[in-house]
Structure 1
Amino acid sequence: MPISESTDRAEPPRVLRTDVRAARRRLVGRVRKTPVFHTSVDGPDGPVPVSLKLEFLQHGGTFKVRGALNALLAADESADHVVVASGGNAGIAVALAAAQLGKTCTVVVPESAPHTKVAAMWAHGAEVLWHGTSYAEAQRKAVALAAERGAEHLHAYDMPAVVAGAGVIGLELEEQVRGRPPVLAAVGGGSLIAGLGAALGRRRHIVGVEAEHTPALSAALAAGAPVDVDAQSGSELLCATRVGDIAYGIARRHRMPVLSVADDAIAAAREYLWREFRVVVELEGAAALAAVQSGAYRPESGVRPIVVLCGANTELPVL
């Protein structure tokens, strides 16, 4: 039975378009306005016209730099140390942002964190601590460590300033793509789709795409609240097993559709990007394209959807 909304459950903070606009002002000169590439890709019934938002070209190879920088710029300037829990890209993003702003950074990672991403955190000067076997365990450690050290604690995806920073992608798309085509983006913990929702509201149709083995947003919408899901995958596709409260709230209010794609389809989409365009992305970065190529998402005739390629931190030898 679905869990009904409880009156004693606190509403997640709202992130508004005005918050995203404020984030864009803070980020001027600090992030890249990533390009859009109009092309066609192979679909189940022939070529499908798409607009690829090349966000993997962002500093650090991840859209998460936008949210990390916005959060640190909006935080108390007296805090010179920041702590975050991350399985990968958020840790890279916060490490890079902290280095840019002259702050020290500690990233708490679960034991399963990919070496490639840990190495990138080190490269940006972060202290990396391993704790626990899951993101949840690492997150609890990060909260305690921040309190112990008097440091600023950043959440990897469920934090208003982080979501607002990611939303700047939506404002860029308004300038880069005419009309109001749908936007497909990977879900993960939810900061990307939440940011797009906050920026674009109902101006454009936003579609979340998640791996079938971690249906975190689908499960939350079905249950009436974010819930933990079991991740069962032997691949490098490491997605959040619980969607953020902010993303859940925005997806629910906007009645955001969520599509599920198989790991094999995501891997095939990534290989296709390399083979056809010599573009290297990580598996989650190819999830939105996989929805188009597998037929999980079929655009209406004459519609050219926007596909966000959101991250590029992967091992090159896997391609």
Structure 2
Amino acid sequence: MDWKSDIDAAAARIEGHVVRTPLLDVNGPGLHSPVQLKLEQMQHTGSFKARGAFNTLLGEPVPDAGLVAASGGNHGAAVAHAAHRLGHAAHIFVPEMAGASKIALIRATGAELTVVPGDYANALHLAQEYEARTGAKQIHAYDAPATVAGQGTCMREWEAQGLAADTVLIAVGGGGLIAGALAWLAGRRKVVAVEPETSCALHAALAAGEPTDVEVSGVAANALGARRIGSICLDLAQRHLGASVLVSDDAISSAQRTLWRNNRQLVEPAGATALAALMSGAYRPEAGETVAVLVCGGNIAPDPFPE
């Protein structure tokens, strides 16, 4: 697969539909030199997910039955937003653990919404049943080429903005974002996967040599709570990933507070997970190694400004 061409095409396709998100250089505890952040929580609907959603909807035909997606929250909001902007009907399935603020965000788009018990895997099962019953087009949250190519535009954009770091830290749930980064970079920079200790599908798959189911829980589970890593992500990670590290819930919450207190950046736990690896020492750069961090989402719970 020619990922570079696919990501270039995705960037051209979604231009004007997504935000060119800004960068921020930060210092703080555990950061031995300034670290550049890319602020994808400033993307439409509060996460990078709009990139993959728009790339899929603009690049593939949409049936009369519309769209269906399963999501921990952020993907569903992005698909619902893109569908609304482009004039398509959408039905989003989310687990209760998505939380009130993400559920409200999806409802605000006008999409049809079904909230289901349990976690993301339960929502995906029902979304697949809906797809089979209605003929709606399934927009997978992470394990589809169009989704991965769309997410790859984030790293492409960052390099065009002058990314100078040797190493980029990226939080992982199902693997769409890091897969896009790995596909674009193809080993030109070191990429480090960061996962919560209690939701670590990629880490487990790398150890097993194949996708394997894991239990998911913890403060970031509503965004990083995939039970099984995507096959596209695992393939790219086995070829190009520099390192895989795990962080505790306490480390994630500490990084989340630090981003607010020191930089007035309000992010959800998933958005602080990659930075937590630096602050906690889960990832220790070599002498002279420059590091950058992708901040992936800002849909915190509870909503600080509810309706």
Under TM normalisation by the shorter chain, which class is it? over 0.9
State how far apart, in whole Å, the 2-side matches of 1:120 and 1:133 are. Answer: 20
Aligned to 2:265: 279
- Relative distance call for 1:209 and 1:131 in structure 2 (3 A) is same
Range that drifts further, 184-193 or 47-56: 47-56
Pairs within 5 Å for 1:62-101? 62-79=47-64, 81-101=66-86
- Relative distance call for 1:80 and 1:290 in structure 2 (3 A) is same
One-letter identity of the residue aligned with 2:45: G
State how far apart, in whole Å, the 1-side matches of 2:266 and 2:43 are. Answer: 13
Q: Is the 8 A contact 1:180 1:203 kept in 2?
A: no
**Which ranges of 4 or more aligned residues in structure 1 deviate by more than 3 Å?**
77-80
Alignment partner of 1:226: what SS? coil
Aligned to 1:190: 175
Q: What are the Cα deviations for residues 81-101 of structure 1, in whole angstroms up to 9, with x where unaligned?
A: 100011211111100110111
Following TM superposition, by how much is the alpha carbon of 1:118 offset from its aligned partner in structure 2, in angstroms?
Answer: 0.6
Structure 2, unaligned runs of 5 or more:
none
Alignment partner of 1:231: what SS? coil
Following TM superposition, by how much is the alpha carbon of 1:137 offset from its aligned partner in structure 2, in angstroms?
Answer: 2.1
Following TM superposition, by how much is the alpha carbon of 1:55 offset from its aligned partner in structure 2, in angstroms?
Answer: 0.8
Aligned to 1:208: 193
* TM-score, normalised with respect to structure 1: 0.90
One-letter identity of the residue aligned with 1:307: V
Aligned to 1:9: none
Q: What are the Cα deviations for residues 111-145 of structure 1, in whole angstroms up to 9, with x where unaligned?
A: 33211101000011111112342322221211121
State how far apart, in whole Å, the 2-side matches of 1:247 and 1:32 are. Answer: 24
Aligned to 1:220: 205
Alignment partner of 2:246: what SS? strand
Corresponding position: 1:146 with 2:131: yes
Aligned to 1:291: 277
One-letter identity of the residue aligned with 1:293: M
Corresponding position: 1:31 with 2:18: yes
- Relative distance call for 1:236 and 1:190 in structure 2 (3 A) is closer
Following TM superposition, by how much is the alpha carbon of 1:315 offset from its aligned partner in structure 2, in angstroms?
Answer: 2.5
Following TM superposition, by how much is the alpha carbon of 1:17 offset from its aligned partner in structure 2, in angstroms?
Answer: 1.3
State how far apart, in whole Å, the 2-side matches of 1:141 and 1:133 are. Answer: 12
Aligned to 1:175: 160
Alignment partner of 1:52: what SS? strand
Structure 1, unaligned runs of 5 or more:
1-13
Q: Is the 8 A contact 2:169 2:194 kept in 1?
A: yes
One-letter identity of the residue aligned with 1:302: G
Corresponding position: 1:114 with 2:95: no
Q: Is the 8 A contact 1:15 1:198 kept in 2?
A: no
- Relative distance call for 1:59 and 1:255 in structure 2 (3 A) is closer
- Relative distance call for 1:155 and 1:25 in structure 2 (3 A) is same
Alignment partner of 2:98: what SS? coil
State how far apart, in whole Å, the 1-side matches of 2:241 and 2:74 are. Answer: 27
* TM-score, normalised with respect to structure 2: 0.93
One-letter identity of the residue aligned with 1:252: Q
- Relative distance call for 1:31 and 1:127 in structure 2 (3 A) is same
State how far apart, in whole Å, the 2-side matches of 1:31 and 1:207 are. Answer: 25
- Relative distance call for 1:267 and 1:237 in structure 2 (3 A) is farther
Following TM superposition, by how much is the alpha carbon of 1:300 offset from its aligned partner in structure 2, in angstroms?
Answer: 2.5
Corresponding position: 1:304 with 2:304: no
Following TM superposition, by how much is the alpha carbon of 1:196 offset from its aligned partner in structure 2, in angstroms?
Answer: 0.2
Corresponding position: 1:55 with 2:40: yes
State how far apart, in whole Å, the 2-side matches of 1:276 and 1:84 are. Answer: 36
Q: Is the 8 A contact 1:51 1:304 kept in 2?
A: no
Following TM superposition, by how much is the alpha carbon of 1:237 offset from its aligned partner in structure 2, in angstroms?
Answer: 3.6
State how far apart, in whole Å, the 1-side matches of 2:266 and 2:280 are. Answer: 19
State how far apart, in whole Å, the 2-side matches of 1:223 and 1:236 are. Answer: 23
